[in-house]
């Protein structure tokens, strides 16, 4: 039987009501599930449930709380694989030992209370504090940030309590076992990936930084640079005409950056050719948008992409090379790009792409931005990219008329 993850709103409602949820991270990251509850709502019963996970009992907080309680990093240089930010552990001054579920529940509620001060706690204690990044899972896809996000989204103080769920043999509980536990205990179970997606849909993340006219060989465009909240990337939009007023849905290209293809005309891919074709097609209609997203190498970065090129020179295809480097075949996310199109007041578009997953990203994620047509964008192949294009078609589902041959 196929197991279904709960929706993010279902999990948030459970957190709001003082419940516990199970949150799983990426199978290529820690691949673990954690019990999570809101610190503000902690009781001896919920803390006892968390402790039954038998992992490390921790309380994620934000920097403001750490400053208020004068807690510091445990080490000067964090060498943990995922940079888990452990802080000074605390007990409340009223605790006898601090180890019981009731004492820990009282302590985490007090830590979450913005009126408490450092002198109300003793150190070291039994509540292990973790510093969550501002911006939550949009900056770090960890359980630490997920706990703070869920509490904040529930309208509670931005602090949570987490504990990893272990199997009876002491290893991380498998996905199947986590679903069984969720059924046994009537708990919602969600993924951090879904939480990231939900926040990208529900929160306004983009704002305009600068706007100017940009004459090009394809026509006079307007260029808009965007800031993305919690992220360092600065995507741009190239706008021709007034697409929001066009009598038919305008052409739109959502283009991920490719230094080698876009800038120096590499023959290993079709990226630069696709960008040029998109600009030509938009120019022919006199209206349209290109959103240029800085997510090089399908999201793995330029240096990693060049490493992947070297592996392809040894006989791997583009998907195999990414996997060999420890990456997914495609890490790109189009939520920011879609928010840019919404900022441009678009509601219906014709998408220039060979990748059906881009259309799914638009139509299935609640943005109220409809792809009414998928327009193929097929530049000529060459001897250097034909195998690459075949892999995109055969392994990644891109719609290419016939498998190119190298």
3-state SS record for 258-300 = CHHHHHCCCCCCCHHHHHHHHHHHHHHHCCEEEEEECCHHHHC
Residue 2, Cβ neighbours under 10 Å: how many?
3
C-beta of residue 376 within 8 angstroms of C-beta of residue 354: yes
Phi, psi of 165 (to 5 degrees): -100, 120
How far apart (Å, rounded) are the C-alpha atoms in residues 100 and 44? 8
CA 187 distance to own-chain centroid: 23
Please state, in angstroms and as integers, the Cα–Cα distance from residue 302 to each residue in 117, 232, 258, 294, 392, following that order: 46, 16, 8, 10, 19
Of 16, 116, 23, the residue nearest 69 (C-alpha)? 116
Q: What angle do CA 292, 253, 193 make, to 5 degrees?
A: 70
Residues taking part in catalysis: 330, 332
């Amino acid at each position: 039987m196929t197991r279904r993850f709960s929706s993010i709103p279902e999990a948030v409602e459970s957190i709001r009501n003082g419940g516990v949820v199970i949150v799983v991270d990426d199978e290529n990251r820690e691949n673990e599930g954690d019990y999570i509850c809101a610190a503000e709502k902690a009781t001896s019963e919920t803390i006892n449930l968390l402790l039954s996970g038998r992992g490390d009992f921790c309380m994620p907080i934000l920097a403001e709380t750490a400053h208020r309680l004068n807690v510091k990093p445990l080490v000067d240089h964090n060498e943990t694989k995922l940079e888990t930010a452990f802080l000074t552990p605390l007990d409340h001054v009223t605790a006898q030992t601090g180890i019981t579920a009731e004492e820990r529940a009282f302590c985490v509620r007090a830590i979450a209370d913005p009126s408490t001060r450092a002198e109300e706690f003793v150190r070291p204690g039994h509540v292990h504090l973790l510093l969550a990044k501002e911006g939550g899972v949009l900056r770090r896809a960890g359980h630490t940030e997920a706990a703070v996000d869920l509490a904040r989204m529930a309208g509670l103080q931005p602090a949570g309590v987490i504990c990893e769920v272990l199997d009876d043999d002491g290893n991380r509980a498998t996905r199947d076992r986590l679903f069984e536990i969720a059924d046994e205990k009537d708990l919602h179970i969600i993924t951090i990936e879904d939480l990231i997606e939900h926040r990208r849909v529900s929160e306004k993340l983009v704002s305009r930084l600068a706007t100017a006219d940009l004459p090009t060989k394809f026509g006079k465009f307007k260029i808009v640079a965007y800031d993305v909240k919690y992220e360092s990337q600065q995507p741009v939009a190239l706008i021709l005409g007034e697409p929001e007023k066009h009598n038919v849905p305008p052409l739109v290209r959502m283009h991920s950056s490719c230094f080698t293809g876009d800038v120096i005309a590499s023959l290993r891919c079709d990226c630069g050719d696709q960008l040029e074709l998109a600009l030509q097609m938009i120019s022919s209609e006199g209206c349209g948008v290109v959103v240029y997203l800085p997510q090089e190498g399908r999201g793995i970065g330029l240096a990693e992409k060049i490493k992947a090129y070297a592996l392809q020179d040894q006989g791997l295809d583009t998907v195999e090379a990414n996997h060999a480097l420890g990456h997914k075949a495609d890490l790109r996310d189009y939520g920011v790009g879609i928010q840019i199109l919404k900022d441009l007041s678009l509601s219906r578009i014709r998408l220039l792409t060979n990748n059906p997953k881009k259309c799914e990203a638009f139509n299935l994620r609640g943005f109220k931005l409809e792809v009414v047509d998928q327009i193929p964008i097929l530049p000529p192949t060459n001897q250097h990219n034909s195998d690459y294009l075949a892999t995109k078609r055969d392994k990644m589902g891109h719609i290419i008329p016939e498998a190119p041959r190298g």
